[in-house]
Amino acid sequence: MARTKSKKNLITRFLIWKYKHISDKNFIYILSVIAGLLSGLVAVALKNLTHFIDLMLQRVLVRDLNLEFYFIFPIIGFSITLLIIKYGIRNKVSHGIPSTLFAISKRKGLMRRYQMFGSLLTAPITVGFGGSVGLEGPTVATGAAISSNISRLLHTNQASRMLLIGCAAAGAMSSIFKAPIAAIIFAVEVFSLDLTLASLLPLLLASLSGVITSYFFFGNDIILPFKVTDTYDIYDLPYYIILGVVAAMVSVYFSNIYERSANYFEKIEHPLRRLLLGGLALGLLLFLIPPLYGEGFEVINNLIQGQPEKTLSNSILTLDLSNAWIVIALLAGLVIFKIFAVTFTFGAGGVGGIFAPTLFMGSIMGYCLALFINTLNILPRMISTSNFTLVGMAGLLAGVLHAPLTAIFLIAELTGGYGLFVPLMITAAISYSITRYFVPHSVYAMELGRKGELITHNKDHAVLTLMDIESVVETNFIPVYPDMSLGEIVREAIVKSKRNIFPVLNRETNYLEGIILMDDLRPIMFEHKMYDEIFAQDLMNNPPTVIKIKQDKMTKVMKKFQDSGAWNLPVIKDGKYYGFVSKSKLLTAYRRKLIHLTR
């Protein structure tokens, strides 16, 4: 108790000193550097822990690795993860970026303390033991949780807290990929941050500190050590358009399978049953298709270097890999089954992200399409398989994540492939446009998007999403009952009320049966001879519409006011009358929230 009080006093003294000596703007700059640095350290820790586990499994414990171990490892990893979550963390560890988006949309950017270490403990075990997911999402979520809790500790406002979460995301992605520009764009696109001069510099500082951290620990090593050498030819333009269309088709396939599988596993209530089903399914898949093991960056590098046989040779099948059609069929199989490996990993209780799997599928898709076109031998010259591999990654990122700018700049920065800007833009734009027509929300935002709880770049929608409907409900309305006479209404309601509207409720159930306006009462309220002749049920009218507090989001509430033209609308909670929302109070709350978010 004394330690907690001392800690609070220390923070209070620091905040007083900060108020006197550091401006709010400079304080945010300092915090953005800290957010980027901490996210960079999280990325280093996650990567090293994962590689350590992988090294111990494949090079120490199992020196002569047999394919049978691919079947065993995931189940062991999922079991350890489940034990850590159940007895150590004691809270559900949600998938990285969706959990962060939920905190932004529904919790005003406040993330729970266990989220600072939940993914850090579980994601390396999931991926190190063969879970077919990535580390990017857990890194971003961990960095975001740390930034959120630092913001809460230092009493920053909601707008600053959300900006620092974006800074953490930028720092994490910058550290992982050594792509600082793409990291900033990722934070803006995925978290729907406003890119203004006020937010640009903190994001830049965070991204810079994240990439410096990565260089300090890893030197010049990058995930995709490749430089573009094949030049882009204008005559290849139609084939990049085809690649964009194919990327859109694969993106829709990815999104649909992901959503259906997630819904299927959610229906299985017992975690042990999910673990066995998902673990056995993934183990069997890895046994049959070993390249699906882990993140898959080694596979991507093999394809970029034009060596698919290194990826496909480790298989129970003995096939002639000199035959291009066999290679095409095997690569297509990797694209088809990778998403199943991802969903089995998540379904079994594994923790990870979908960024790396998207890059994996995109690279194989691009290489496979280029090899298919070249094998047909219908062109006067061969098209570049390495270029198609790179652009394919951008196409799938743009479609699956709904982040075309991130896709373009990430691939360009990763590979030094700025000469591929035109095909990157064409493929990403086509893939994004087509995918969004069929799949309105990215994989990250599917669930929130369906519920209308997703923060978007639309300022009006963002402000309404962040507003709490219960905060604008007024309950000081005096109810009347259907059997009350006009005299009773005057004595019990009109005389005592300061309102000009009265809800008519069922005495037993408290259900709303109608409303009475003061305008309905004013012509007869002084006619004493009618006091015992007219009753509330004779005067009440149906409300223009009602607001259901647990179902209607603020965007829908605002639309109901607009469509009905009413100034007050009754609110229903659990089927019973709860209060009224007035348009004036709603607009006042909207204005305050807008000022709060943009100051």
Q: Domain containing 68 — which CATH number?
A: 1.10.3080.10
36-70 as b/e: b if 16+ CB within 10 A: bbbbbbbbbebbebbeebbeebbeeeeeeeeeebb
What residues of the chain score a pLDDT lower than 70? 1-8, 58-69, 193-197, 227-229, 313-320, 417, 446-468, 590, 592-599
Asked if 182 and 106 sit in the same domain, the reply is yes
User: Where residue 540 sits, what CATH number does that domain have?
Assistant: 3.10.580.10
Give dist(CA 141, CA 165) in Å, integer: 9
* pLDDT value, residue 559: 81
Closest to 282 measured CA to CA, from 439, 130, 473, 83: 130
Number of domains observed in the structure of the chain: 3
When the pLDDT of each residue in the chain is averaged and rounded to a whole number, the result is 83
Its domain, for residue 479, covers 462-598
What's the sign of the alpha-carbon dihedral 400, 403, 408, 414? negative
Asked if 127 and 207 sit in the same domain, the reply is yes
* 570 within 8 A of 475, measured Cβ to Cβ: no
Asked if 432 and 285 sit in the same domain, the reply is yes
* 172 within 8 A of 43, measured Cβ to Cβ: yes
Specify the pTM.
0.79
Among 401, 430, 452, identify where a domain stops. 452
* pLDDT value, residue 448: 57
Asked if 107 and 190 sit in the same domain, the reply is yes
| Beta-carbon-side half-sphere exposure of residue 207 (alpha carbons within 13 Å) | 23
* 120 within 8 A of 38, measured Cβ to Cβ: no
Give dist(CA 519, CA 289) in Å, integer: 74
Asked if 537 and 422 sit in the same domain, the reply is no
Among 452, 477, 507, identify where a domain stops. 452
Asked if 271 and 404 sit in the same domain, the reply is yes
Beta strand pairing call for 568-573 and 512-517: unpaired
Asked if 352 and 419 sit in the same domain, the reply is yes
Give dist(CA 48, CA 42) in Å, integer: 10
- Whether residue 580 lies inside any domain: the answer is yes
Give dist(CA 542, CA 514) in Å, integer: 5
Phi-psi region of 110 (alpha: psi -120 to 50; beta: other; left: phi over 0): beta
- Whether residue 431 lies inside any domain: the answer is yes
Closest to 538 measured CA to CA, from 483, 577, 499: 483
* 328 within 8 A of 368, measured Cβ to Cβ: yes
Among 194, 218, 242, identify where a domain stops. 218
Who's near 388: CB < 8 A, 6+ residues apart?
A: 239, 243, 366, 367, 369, 370
Rounded (5°) CA angle 221-222-225: 100
**């049959």: which residue's tokens?**
288
Give dist(CA 580, CA 16) in Å, integer: 42
Asked if 430 and 497 sit in the same domain, the reply is no
Closest to 516 measured CA to CA, from 484, 475, 552: 484
* pLDDT value, residue 464: 54
